[in-house]
Structure 1
């Protein structure tokens, strides 16, 4: 009897699953008559290595007593990204733990119990699997497909669209897949024997950046990865599958440009190792097509680079106003103008604007450049030094102008060297709390094209200056632009961008719905401002607005149709559907029922 190849099996499975999907237009949620019985869950429990988990909102212990040790732990950890990542029911932004009914009633579980509201499950998953192996995930996925469950995949809960939670859902929790393997020599599966990479690193789906960086550094290597205080973001999940920007992107590309291989379980339970030689269509899609969309990623193998020294600048420019022609406006406008030159030379980093107040507004520049080559380092130093001299002269002239509103104050306007990128990371980012963790949060973003900066940098700068807490992130250009747009499934707008502009707002518990809606209206207005600058560009899927009028174009651009076709092969039943992800527009707003065809 001839065995089917995995490709043939997938094609046959796709046809069978598509027929089944047509008969099951709605997912089964907790509380539905079709929800699996206790005996069925008990049978699942015999197939996995850990007891089934029953996630709860993280604040729930405080509803017993605020004086219990459990509540004290919750209170102490509430704004700690790594603590929240360790909780099965926690999202980094608690608003995504909540659920709003059609009548506007909100079910949630607040830390501030004095508000006298009941603790509800909200959007926290009802039950799930604590995955520790490929077999655990295969069992979980097969069970979910068999019972037509609403599935969410979660590692750390870092998701500004709440893709790691859904009311009444079945959770595949990958947080404890912590294996890290450093390969002195790595050949991708199916590749020619002479295609080897020195010191590649394989990370399990639950590895976080602080763990990955420490492991790479112990081997004298450097990884292109995310930067946030505490390093709590997952290194092998949504960050990567959505693109993955880094302070090193201008020098070495995005996360998707540094991946050698994925291992993944698809919706029929198949375990696949995919790279440029095996299932290249899936490899293409996973590099930018979005997390939780094509299957459950088990591990990722990245290329690494030898440790190298870096040059860095950390400065803050402060003034009384950022209105057009003010000193601060000129300082920021010049940064926008020279950004393409900076990123071409390898400078990468972040320039967030602080929220203007009645008497002060400021922006900060945190930027680095590898100094591997003396010639390249000299050119990069000359460009940045020129900008710093410009700022110093601007500050001096604005102070002498006699107009207090124009006066610019500078802090730290000089370059500093570090022996390695890891030294810089540990000095600035390895401790502390990531801004906004434990608060309600919504964000938006837009990619600003390089040609627009070249032709009208002043309009770009003035538009950004009108958006509170916007950021000018120099994580595009340079090496990011040197990759052909068709090489990965990533939104092609990244390849022509000069910079990535994220922005958003946060709120504390007790903020009224009217107040939150007013903030949302402002967010929508600011998104529209940036979209009007470059309507044919796009946005970053991982720092995404929930209010994009055409999310398929905004987040995937011309790659959407191809991504949808690949999803139909590897997930024909649409088991993996996430907010604003591929195929999500074919489902209702709650992603529970398919829209009629």
Structure 2
């Protein structure tokens, strides 16, 4: 029997009771309405949509934690607005509030791509058993399934209308280990310090437990409200990736619910193919991760930052400044001590927002002194914001109480009554809360561009790029310059191998204020958003003249990327696709431009007959 015939037969089995009970006419009409080359999942109102009794059984199976979802903005009609609407508008700039709403996402949408719309129902999972029940229900009833932890996906992969949501927000247990060995690895894997984290935890939860209270380091994300599970599955860069590698490379073990409802442990010794796949293969494509165990590391004595802004008086001076900065980076910063970014604006201004580890403040100041001497010696440049270095004891890096006392305003807390005191985000990340994306492009830049004979090519492309839009070079999102051990560990992940030889990830992005459907007030200016997106497209095209084959980071990339398989995973994609076929042959798990998504329609509801 051909594979497609086998799948047809499997899909037909649940139809038999309805056919025998007189539902044949309705089913036939539904089938006739389907394009010939697709097979569809069911939506509300379809004949096959689960009955009220079926939903009630699921509610019973998950201990009452089945929620029927509606956006709080659905009540934002004519004045007076509903209490839910007013509450949502009050906390629109609070990512902790947005994360606590199963009907909302941290991004409100992307022009001409998607808008944040709630699932029909959500299982507010508190245990792996809840996740199993939701997965089995979705499979048995042919539902579109969505998984959300932090809800930060720029691509809209953590929501979908007419779907069933597995919401892991409440699975936040964290446990530190002095000596952890993966299941089945005794005798082959040395015990090591580690932390086990529930799938719903945010990185601020992890940092608070591991660093502030535990005195160790775990490689995670820079934005504190990002979900741990999603970041690890997408690769996972933090501010200090050139020192500690990627979050995916630090994964020791995971518990994952697969499409058949089985609970599997995945590590280097048990289900190693699945383990490799979730290390950078993208969240939501291979199963529902419910727990992760990550290695922890010794803390350096200090973490620190260097920030400031330099403006050039002319285009000629700006190009010269770009050239000097590229050379300076290659000479002084291209090593494991330094991370984060330098942004090159279209207004001939450079913004420096770098971090360091393994140095004390005077050492960091000494590193930057030659560049600042060069700038001060030339009248065509001005320090719009002084370039200054600051350091702090590493244990206080994510210590909310420390920042409240010593640096108020650097962090922003959850302003709701009774909110955990440690729930803070960096003030610089608040602009992303609820944002409506106009465009987002990224490209890994190989270290070969830093060679003396190629720097001019990079400088020309970078200057040309800024004539259309500003660009940030995120040096912590490329592993070139890291230690051989960290590069080797990242090589054993599914992330695009280009990251191993990239000195930076270039990011070009633009956005507008929150635009959740139903919100009162002015709607997004779509014409302006499209013009801005077009300018960003010209900018990335100009930058790619320096490296036409540059890939892109799956979590920070263009929604409209055409060659996404190669861009996101490069030569790893065939192996990832094989893992997908093994553990999810029917394609229960779907996300936009995720592994295996080419077999489905853009909304994930209809499967191609030839897939």
Residue by residue, what CA displacement relative to the aligned partner does 1:248-297 show, whole Å, maximum 9, x if unpaired?
Answer: 10001011111111110000001011011111111111111100010000
| Alignment partners' CA distance in 1, 2:345 and 2:72 | 30
Offset at 1:233? 0.7
SS in 1 for 2:433: coil
**1:188/1:196 contact within 8 Å kept:** no
1:369 aligns with 2:361: no
Query: Which of 126, 150, 158 pairs up with 1:164?
Result: 158
Query: Which of 66, 74, 77 pairs up with 1:60?
Result: 74
**1:28/1:150 contact within 8 Å kept:** yes
SS in 2 for 1:264: strand
SS in 1 for 2:542: helix
* Residue in structure 1 matched with residue 297 of structure 2 by the alignment: 305
Offset at 1:469? 3.7
| Alignment partners' CA distance in 2, 1:499 and 1:525 | 20
In structure 2, the CA distance between the partners of 1:73 and 1:457, relative to structure 1 (3 Å rule), is: farther
Query: Which of 35, 49, 62 pairs up with 1:48?
Result: 62
TM (norm. structure 2) is 0.82
* Residue in structure 2 matched with residue 76 of structure 1 by the alignment: 90
| Alignment partners' CA distance in 2, 1:552 and 1:322 | 41
* Residue in structure 2 matched with residue 595 of structure 1 by the alignment: 608
| Alignment partners' CA distance in 2, 1:247 and 1:22 | 50
Query: Which of 266, 269, 291 pairs up with 2:258?
Result: 266
Moved more, 333-342 or 555-564: 333-342
1:459 aligns with 2:452: no
1:557 aligns with 2:537: no
| Alignment partners' CA distance in 2, 1:184 and 1:21 | 48
1:436 aligns with 2:436: no
Residue by residue, what CA displacement relative to the aligned partner does 1:448-491 show, whole Å, maximum 9, x if unpaired?
Answer: 01112224223324433434342111112233765246411111
**2:105/2:151 contact within 8 Å kept:** yes
* Residue in structure 1 matched with residue 19 of structure 2 by the alignment: none
| Alignment partners' CA distance in 2, 1:247 and 1:560 | 27
**2:491/2:500 contact within 8 Å kept:** no
* Residue in structure 1 matched with residue 504 of structure 2 by the alignment: 499
SS in 1 for 2:430: coil
* Residue in structure 2 matched with residue 479 of structure 1 by the alignment: 482
1:392 aligns with 2:372: yes
* Structure 1, gaps ≥5 residues long: 1-12, 101-105, 109-121, 372-376, 400-405
**2:445/2:547 contact within 8 Å kept:** yes
SS in 1 for 2:265: strand
* Residue in structure 2 matched with residue 470 of structure 1 by the alignment: 471
* Residue in structure 2 matched with residue 540 of structure 1 by the alignment: 553
**2:309/2:386 contact within 8 Å kept:** no
**1:84/1:156 contact within 8 Å kept:** no
* Residue in structure 1 matched with residue 494 of structure 2 by the alignment: 489
| Alignment partners' CA distance in 2, 1:339 and 1:200 | 33
In structure 2, the CA distance between the partners of 1:65 and 1:174, relative to structure 1 (3 Å rule), is: farther
Residue by residue, what CA displacement relative to the aligned partner does 1:65-103 show, whole Å, maximum 9, x if unpaired?
Answer: 55655333212211221111111111111126x998xxx
SS in 1 for 2:136: helix
* Residue in structure 2 matched with residue 445 of structure 1 by the alignment: 442
1:155 aligns with 2:149: yes
SS in 2 for 1:392: helix
Residue by residue, what CA displacement relative to the aligned partner does 1:400-437 show, whole Å, maximum 9, x if unpaired?
Answer: xxxxxx32215343433321154367544544352221
* Residue in structure 1 matched with residue 44 of structure 2 by the alignment: 30
In structure 2, the CA distance between the partners of 1:259 and 1:469, relative to structure 1 (3 Å rule), is: same
* Residue in structure 1 matched with residue 104 of structure 2 by the alignment: 90
| Alignment partners' CA distance in 2, 1:443 and 1:152 | 23
* Residue in structure 1 matched with residue 519 of structure 2 by the alignment: none
SS in 2 for 1:536: coil
Query: Which of 242, 248, 258 pairs up with 1:250?
Result: 242
| Alignment partners' CA distance in 1, 2:512 and 2:346 | 14
Offset at 1:352? 3.0
**2:338/2:354 contact within 8 Å kept:** no
1:240 aligns with 2:232: yes
- 1:6-405 counterparts in 2 under 5 A? 20=10, 25-63=39-77, 65=79, 69-95=83-109, 123-193=117-187, 195-217=189-211, 218-228=213-223, 231-237=224-230, 239-319=231-311, 323=315, 325-326=316-317, 328-340=318-330, 342-354=333-345, 356=347, 361-371=349-359, 381=363, 385-386=366-367, 388-399=368-379
| Alignment partners' CA distance in 1, 2:499 and 2:43 | 37
In structure 2, the CA distance between the partners of 1:40 and 1:494, relative to structure 1 (3 Å rule), is: same
| Alignment partners' CA distance in 1, 2:245 and 2:165 | 32
In structure 2, the CA distance between the partners of 1:588 and 1:66, relative to structure 1 (3 Å rule), is: same
**2:153/2:555 contact within 8 Å kept:** yes
In structure 2, the CA distance between the partners of 1:68 and 1:367, relative to structure 1 (3 Å rule), is: same
**1:314/1:412 contact within 8 Å kept:** no
Residue by residue, what CA displacement relative to the aligned partner does 1:316-365 show, whole Å, maximum 9, x if unpaired?
Answer: 22325573x31x44344333334455242431122234563xxx733122
| Alignment partners' CA distance in 2, 1:69 and 1:555 | 42
* Residue in structure 2 matched with residue 5 of structure 1 by the alignment: none
SS in 2 for 1:478: coil
SS in 2 for 1:224: coil
